[in-house]
Amino acid sequence: YGEISLKDIDQVVKSSFPLCMRHLFEKLREDHHLKHGGRMQLGLFLKGVGLNLDDALAFWRAEFSKKVGLEKFEKEYAYNVRHSYGKEGKRTDYTPFSCQKIILSTPGAGDQHGCPYRHFSEENLRAALSRMGVNSRATEDVMNKVRNKHYQLACTLTFEAIHGMQCDAGINHPNQYFSDSQKIFQ
């Protein structure tokens, strides 16, 4: 897979984002804001799927400026976007988070990051799966994995239910979920 562009992003979110990233994306659109953990998790994922720096700045600016204003965005948030692309500070090229890292994260009050299979209530997870188009039988299989704390297997079953296809390798990285999905649609 190559680059994704901003004009396609809504469609790509629906077809190929894993639930953790879809949730962050929808919350950002709803609240025009995400706390630091959410900005890192979603921002590095978007970088990993090929959103270039200019598009990333435009993306975050469009949402945040609705909440905090353009000036505050440029002053307080744009630096961090450039930083995560390795364009500021120590110029470290940060890599997107793996499932393991996301599952082990500890979102606090008001945080939207984390893995929904691990961090959502059962009710919220069921509602989210239904919005993704997972049927009730597959949902029960997913919930079974969640109860046994097999979060990545739960995500793999979701992938299989949505794509109607086996995912033998299993899901171990949100960007792998994305690229495996894109391969199916191409």
Least distance to ligand SF4 from the beta carbon of 161, Å? 13
Binding site for ligand SF4 (CB under 6 A): 18-20, 99, 102-103, 115-117, 151-152, 155, 171, 174, 177
**Length of the chain in terms of residues written:** 186
Q: How far is CA 186 from the centre of its chain?
A: 21
Helix runs in 3-121, H state only: 9-16, 19-31, 36-48, 53-68, 70-72, 78-84, 99-103, 116-119
Least distance to ligand SF4 from the beta carbon of 115, Å? 3
The residue among 40 and 155 lying less far from ligand SF4, judged by its C-beta, is 155
Q: How far is CA 113 from the centre of its chain?
A: 8
Distance in angstroms (rounded) separating the CA atoms of residues 127 and 11: 20
Distance in angstroms (rounded) separating the CA atoms of residues 69 and 78: 12
The residue among 84 and 152 lying less far from ligand SF4, judged by its C-beta, is 152
The residue among 57 and 181 lying less far from ligand SF4, judged by its C-beta, is 181
Least distance to ligand SF4 from the beta carbon of 132, Å? 11
**Chain position carrying tokens 């299993």:** 170
Least distance to ligand SF4 from the beta carbon of 61, Å? 25
The residue among 77 and 156 lying less far from ligand SF4, judged by its C-beta, is 156
